[in-house]
């Protein structure tokens, strides 16, 4: 009942928003010969795709706060919160530092395993902190029009990072590669999305004979270690100073 | 062409040997020693000539050219000199030393040899075309009786003479000469274009429209960006403008493809046609493109004044003020710097040095320390005469590099001779370019003075208009300034999407801007 009520409110709000965009105040008549007929580009001595760009990043600092979601993490808590600070050395490159603190507790999957099989994965070591030096290669600066009055600029970039992942008992070196996209809704503020694949040495949480309540509590050093790959999606808010 | 060359060399081999054979019978009666020595020397030279010609025939162009060059300087072979020089020229052409070859052909033309002069003119026309140097060819044409020219060169001669007449402002004769160039000729389309120009200069736009349409028709199957096709389209648009058929002219300008160099001029000239057709909104759309950051290197003072005039027509005095201020801010320093530079030097070499630096900037990503504004020099670089001469200089440099890349050839007398010719031609061309630059700068100074005067008149009109507008405001007759409402929504017809301009310019949007304001006059 309540769910349907929310749905109705959402539809009404959406209709009101669309109503504003759909009914124009004025109709402009443009002669056909003035409308775009060619998809080719004009010839210039030194062609550049954009001039007088709205978002100028060169030699500027950018800071962001983000939420990270470990998409392939089975046991530890999949969430983390982080801070990043970048310096844009040019319009195509940026260097930054990332620091992310993992949430405590276990993933919902680990909770399920506990409910069904009485497995206590909180005995396994979990990640606490990630610190990375990140390089961004800004490949494309673009823009997109979301409505007749809203245009946002975008930057698509590739990232490569190296740093550490700290577990409760030990710190491991880590590397990551990824792709990211920033959506600038003002000249300073943007939404930042980063999809990264982390590779680092990490303890394997599955240790036979030590995870049930009746079994002896293992030492952290009992857990086997191996290279682990984790896909991570970060969503953050970024400010360009 | 190659077959003809071989045939010529083969025939040349026969001539000296035959003449030598004929002479062998005569000296029998003479038995004095000096004569014997002379005959021996002559026979040796003839042998050398035969050898050189055999080398030429065998494709040993470099060796043949070196030998022929030495022989061409021997007084004993004065009678054979036109022939030797002609073949030397063809060898040099094979070696892609066109400027050095041109000198050989000019020498042959000067001798007025019944056979080789005509052949040399034909060859000279080819090297002149390759080098892009009309002066050599025009010189040659002026030296020879036009009736002596072979029929296959008539088109070229008519074209070149047409050019000379056009330069001398003899438009009717010029159009007639261009009209004589036949369809199959490589000069045909250039001749047709110049014919249209001459007709426009003669104030016969209807004839010119016919000529440009004929050219367009002949290039119908050519690619969209074909230079001749685009030039014809541009010529047609200009002819229609001159005929005061504004709407047709606007349409013709719109047909100039965006991915061609002429498009920028088309947009500007179309704005004039739009103003004359009272399509103010359309003209202002074009100015959004022309005054975008993409054109910051373009010298376009007139376009700013034209924009101010359009604003005057629609009573946008604040916008007018901005545009006039921009004109003064941009072209005031330009005018001052041109004046200072012209006062500071009279040396052609100084003018050339500036244009060379600008050329370097234009063709590379590097900057240079210029005394004149880059927009001025860029504009001068785009002038036909300067462009042609810079292209010619480039060809000379390529030829010089070709000589220098071959140490053996460079050290030979012919190599040294070629380098000397190239150095002299280069030096003279640089001086000529310097003079051209100076002439263009003087014209620009005069033009800017006139435009400043016009800007003053426009400003006066703006003040008058403003006064009237204030009067209306006081009396309550003022109408709403629609542009002030920046949040309003628009609907564009024909299903096109619309989004507002936010200050940045994108290459794929240049030419697609639309001014959506309305006039503020009562």
Q: How far is CA A239 from CA A55, A87, A99, A182, in A?
A: 11, 12, 16, 11
pLDDT of B481 > 80? The answer is no
Classify residue A218 by its DSSP letter: P
**Res B155 pLDDT > 50:** yes
Asked if the Cβ–Cβ distance from B254 to A149 is below 8 Å, we say no
At a CB cut-off of 8 Å and minimum separation 6, what does B126 contact?
Answer: B93
Residue B502 or residue B435, greater confidence:
B435
How far is it, in rounded angstroms, from Cα B282 to Cα A30? 9
Give percent of chain A above pLDDT 90: 45
The answer to whether A54 and B509 are in contact (CB under 8 A) is no
DSSP code, position A76:
B
Asked whether the beta carbons of residue B504 and residue A53 sit closer than 8 angstroms, the reply is yes
The greatest distance separating any two alpha carbons of chain B, rounded to the nearest whole angstrom, comes to 122
Give the CA radius of gyration of chain A. 24
Q: Do A34 and B282 touch (CB under 8 A)?
A: yes
Top pLDDT among B100 and A207 is at B100
A67, A103 contact by CB (below 8 A): no
Angle at B130 between CA B193 and CA B59, to 5 degrees: 145
Average pLDDT over residues B23-34: 41
| Percentage of chain B modeled with pLDDT above 70 | 85
Task: State the average pLDDT for chain A.
Answer: 85
pLDDT at B201: 93
Buried b (16+ CB within 10 A) or exposed e, A161-180: bebebbbeeeebebebebeb
- Dihedral angle, C-alpha B243, B247, B251, B253, nearest 10 °: 50
Nearest to B392 by CA among B354, B360, B422, B352: B422
The pLDDT score that the predictor gives to residue A14 is 62
The pTM (predicted TM-score) of the whole model is 0.78
CATH 3.40.50.300 corresponds to the domain A53-240: no
pLDDT digit string, tens, across residues A201-238: 888 888 777 777 777 778 888 888 889 999 999 999 99
Confidence label for A62 from pLDDT (cuts 50, 70 and 90): very high
Averaged pLDDT, B102-119: 83
Bridge partner residues of A225 (DSSP): A203
How many C-beta neighbours within 10 Å does residue B77 have?
18
Contacts of B477 (CB under 8 A, 6+ apart): B522
Contact, B420 vs B274, CB < 8 A?
Answer: no
3-state SS assignment for residue A235:
strand
What is the distance between the terminal CA atoms of chain B, rounded to a whole angstrom? Answer: 73
Share of chain A above pLDDT 70, in %: 88
B4 vs B409, residue with greater confidence: B409
CB atoms within 10 A of CB A146: 12
What's the mean per-residue pLDDT of chain B?
A: 82
Closest CA to B280 of B253, B239, B250: B250
Topology, domain B49-149: 1.25.40
Q: How far apart are CA A206 and CA A123, in angstroms?
A: 10
| Structure-token pair, residue B169 | 């402002």
Helix (H, G, I), strand (E, B) or coil at A236: strand
Of B261, B491, B504, the CB nearest to A24: B491
A7 in B contact zone (CB under 8 Å): no
- What is the radius of gyration, based on Cα positions, of chain B? 31
For residue A160, give every residue at least 6 positions away whose Cβ sits within 8 Å of its Cβ, in sequence order, or none: A134, A135, A137, A175, A176, A177, A178
Q: Where are the domains of chain B?
A: 49-149, 336-475
Contact (CB, 8 A) for B101 and B89: yes
User: Within chain A, what is the greatest distance between any pair of CA atoms?
Assistant: 83
Which residues, in sequence order, are CB contacts of B393 under 8 Å at separation 6+? B426, B429, B430, B433
Assign B28 a pLDDT band (cuts: 50, 70, 90): very low
B259: tokens are 């991915």
| d(CA B231, nearest CA chain A) in Å | 16
Look at residue B148 and tell me whether its pLDDT is greater than 70: no
Q: Tell me: pLDDT of B242 over 90.
A: yes
Q: Residue B241: which pLDDT band, with cuts at 50, 70 and 90?
A: very high
The pLDDT value recorded for residue B29 is 38
Of B285, B488, B502, nearest to A151 by CB-CB distance is B502
A192: closest CA of chain B, how far (Å): 22
The pLDDT of residue A2 is 52
pLDDT at B184 over 60: yes
Dihedrals phi, psi of A124, to nearest 5 degrees: -85, 150
Residue whose structure tokens are 């021997």: B74
Tell me the sheet residues that pair with A64. Answer: A84, A238
SS3 of residue A138 by DSSP: strand
Question: How crowded is residue A22: how many other Cβ atoms within 10 Å of its Cβ?
Answer: 11
- In this predicted structure, the answer to whether residue B17 has a pLDDT above a threshold of 50 is no
pLDDT band at B21 (very low <50, low <70, confident <90, very high): very low
- The whole-angstrom distance between B246's CA and the closest CA on chain A is 14
Residue-wise pLDDT tens digits, B289-317: 999 889 988 999 999 999 999 888 888 88
Provide mean pLDDT across the span B249-264.
Answer: 92
Backbone angles phi, psi at B497, to 5 degrees: -80, 150
Residue-wise pLDDT tens digits, A76-105: 888 999 999 999 999 999 999 999 999 888
Q: What is the pLDDT of residue A58?
A: 92
Say which residue, B469 or A94, is predicted with more confidence: A94
CA distance B301 to B296: 11
The pLDDT of residue B198: 94
Q: What is the ipTM of this complex?
A: 0.78
State whether B489 and A47 contact (CB < 8 Å).
no
Question: What pLDDT is attached to residue B422?
Answer: 92
The model's pLDDT over B206-219, given as tens digits with 9 standing for 90+, comes to: 999 999 999 999 99
Nearest CA in chain B to A49: B507
Give the mean pLDDT of A180-185.
Answer: 93
Could you tell me which residues are beta bridge partners of residue A237?
A: A65, A191
Contact list in A for residue B263 (CB cut-off 8 A) is: 42-43
Q: For residue B136, is pLDDT > 80?
A: no
Q: Could you give the angle at which helices B116-131 and B98-111 cross, rounded to 10 degrees?
A: 150
Determine whether the interchain pair B497/A30 forms a contact, defined as Cβ–Cβ distance below 8 Å: no
Q: What is the pLDDT of residues B317-350, one digit of tens each?
A: 888 888 898 899 989 999 999 999 889 988 888 8
Q: Hey, are the CB atoms on B493 and A29 less than 8 Å from each other? A: yes
Calpha distance B132→B390 (Å, rounded): 10
**Is A163's pLDDT higher than 90?**
yes
Using an 8 Å Cβ cutoff, are B211 and B191 in contact?
Answer: no
**Out of A147-151, B13-17, B33-37, least confident range:** B13-17
Tell me what the mean pLDDT of segment B177-183 comes to: 90
- The beta-carbon neighbor of A48 closest among B251, B259, B507 is B507
* A48–chain B Cβ distance below 8 A for any pair: yes
* Nearest-angstrom CA–CA distance, B300 and B306: 10
Q: Any CB–CB contact under 8 A between A34 and chain B? A: yes
Average pLDDT over residues B188-204: 93
Q: Give, to the nearest 10 degrees, the angle between helix B374-381 and helix B348-363.
A: 90
Burial of A139 (0-12, 13-18, 19+ CB in 10 A): exposed
Q: How many CB atoms lie within 10 A of CB B460?
A: 10
Alpha-carbon span B53 to B69, nearest angstrom:
12
Taking an 8 Å Cβ-Cβ cutoff, which residues of chain B contact chain A? 250-251, 254, 257-261, 263-264, 279, 282, 285, 292-294, 297, 362-363, 365, 487-494, 496-500, 502-508, 510-512, 514, 516
- Give Cα separations from A195 to A133, A190, B249 (angstroms): 16, 16, 54
Residues of B in contact with A46 (CB under 8 A): 365
Q: Where are the alpha helices (DSSP H) in B345-480?
A: 348-363, 374-381, 384-404, 407-411, 413-474
């Amino acid at each position: 009942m309540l769910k349907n009520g929310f749905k109705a409110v959402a539809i009404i709000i959406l209709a009101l928003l669309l109503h504003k965009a759909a009914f124009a105040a004025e109709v402009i008549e443009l002669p056909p010969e003035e409308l775009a007929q060619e998809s080719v580009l004009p010839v210039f001595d030194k062609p550049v795709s954009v001039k007088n760009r709205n978002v100028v990043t060169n030699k500027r600092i950018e800071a962001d706060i983000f939420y990270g979601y470990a998409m392939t993490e089975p046991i530890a808590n999949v969430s983390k919160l982080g801070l990043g600070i970048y310096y844009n050395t040019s319009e195509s490159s940026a260097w930054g530092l990332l620091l992310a603190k993992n949430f405590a507790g276990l993933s919902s999957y680990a909770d399920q395993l506990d409910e069904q099989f009485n497995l206590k994965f909180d005995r396994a070591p979990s990640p606490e902190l990630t610190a990375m030096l990140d390089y961004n290669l800004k490949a494309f600066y673009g823009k997109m029009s979301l409505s007749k009055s809203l245009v946002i600029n975008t930057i698509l970039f590739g990232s490569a990072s190296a740093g550490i992942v700290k577990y409760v008992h030990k710190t491991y070196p880590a590397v990551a590669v990824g792709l990211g996209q920033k959506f600038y809704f003002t000249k300073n503020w943007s939404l930042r999305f980063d999809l990264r694949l982390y590779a680092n040495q990490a303890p394997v949480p599955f240790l036979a004979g030590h995870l049930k309540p009746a079994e002896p509590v293992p030492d952290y050093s009992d857990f086997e270690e191996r290279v682990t790959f984790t896909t991570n999606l970060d969503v953050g808010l970024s400010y360009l100073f | 062409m190659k077959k003809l060359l071989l045939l010529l060399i083969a025939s040349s081999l026969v001539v000296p040997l035959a003449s030598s054979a004929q002479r062998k019978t005569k000296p029998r009666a003479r038995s004095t020693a000096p004569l014997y020595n002379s005959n021996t020397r002559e026979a040796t030279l003839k042998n050398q000539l035969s050898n050189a010609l055999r080398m030429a025939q065998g494709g040993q162009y470099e060796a043949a050219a070196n030998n022929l060059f030495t022989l061409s300087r021997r007084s004993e072979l004065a009678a054979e000199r036109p022939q030797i020089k002609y073949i030397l020229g063809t060898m040099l052409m094979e070696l892609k030393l066109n400027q050095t070859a041109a000198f050989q052909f000019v020498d042959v033309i000067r001798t007025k040899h019944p056979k080789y002069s005509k052949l040399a003119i034909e060859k000279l026309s080819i090297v002149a075309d390759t080098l892009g140097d009309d002066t050599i060819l025009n010189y040659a044409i002026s030296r020879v009786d036009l009736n002596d020219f072979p029929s296959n060169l008539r088109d070229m001669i008519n074209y070149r003479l047409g050019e000379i007449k056009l330069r001398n402002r003899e438009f009717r004769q010029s159009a007639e000469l261009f009209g004589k160039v036949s369809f199959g000729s490589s000069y045909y389309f250039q001749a047709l274009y110049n014919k249209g120009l001459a007709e426009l200069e003669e104030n016969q736009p209807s004839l010119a429209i016919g000529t440009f349409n004929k050219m367009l028709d002949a290039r119908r199957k050519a690619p969209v960006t074909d230079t001749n096709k685009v030039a014809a389209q541009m010529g047609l648009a200009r002819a229609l403008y001159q005929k005061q058929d504004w709407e047709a002219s606007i349409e013709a300008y719109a047909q100039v493809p965006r991915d061609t160099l002429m498009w920028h001029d088309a947009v500007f000239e179309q704005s004039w046609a739009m103003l004359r057709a009272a399509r103010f909104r359309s003209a202002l759309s074009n100015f959004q493109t022309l005054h975008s950051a993409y054109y910051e290197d373009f010298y376009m003072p007139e376009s700013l004044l034209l924009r101010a005039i359009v604003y005057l027509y629609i009573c946008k005095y604040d916008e007018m003020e901005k545009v006039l201020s921009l004109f003064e801010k941009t072209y005031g320093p330009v005018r001052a710097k041109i004046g200072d530079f012209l006062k500071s030097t009279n040396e052609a070499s100084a003018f050339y040095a500036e244009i060379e630096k600008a050329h370097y900037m234009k063709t590379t990503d590097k900057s240079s320390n210029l005394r004149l504004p880059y927009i001025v020099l860029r504009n001068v670089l785009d002038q036909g005469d300067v462009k042609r001469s810079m292209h010619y200089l480039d060809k000379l440099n390529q030829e010089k590099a070709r000589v220098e890349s071959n140490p053996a050839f460079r050290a030979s007398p012919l190599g040294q001779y070629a380098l000397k010719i190239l150095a002299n031609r280069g030096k003279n061309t640089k001086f000529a370019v310097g003079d051209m630059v100076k002439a263009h700068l003087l014209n620009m100074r005069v033009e800017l003075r006139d435009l400043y005067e016009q800007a003053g008149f426009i400003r006066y009109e703006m003040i008058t208009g403003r006064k009237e507008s204030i009067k209306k405001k006081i009396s309550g007759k003022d109408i709403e300034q629609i542009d002030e409402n920046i949040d309003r929504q628009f609907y564009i017809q024909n299903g096109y999407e619309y989004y507002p301009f936010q200050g940045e310019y994108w290459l794929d949007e240049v030419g697609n801007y639309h001014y959506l304001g309305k006039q503020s006059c009562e």
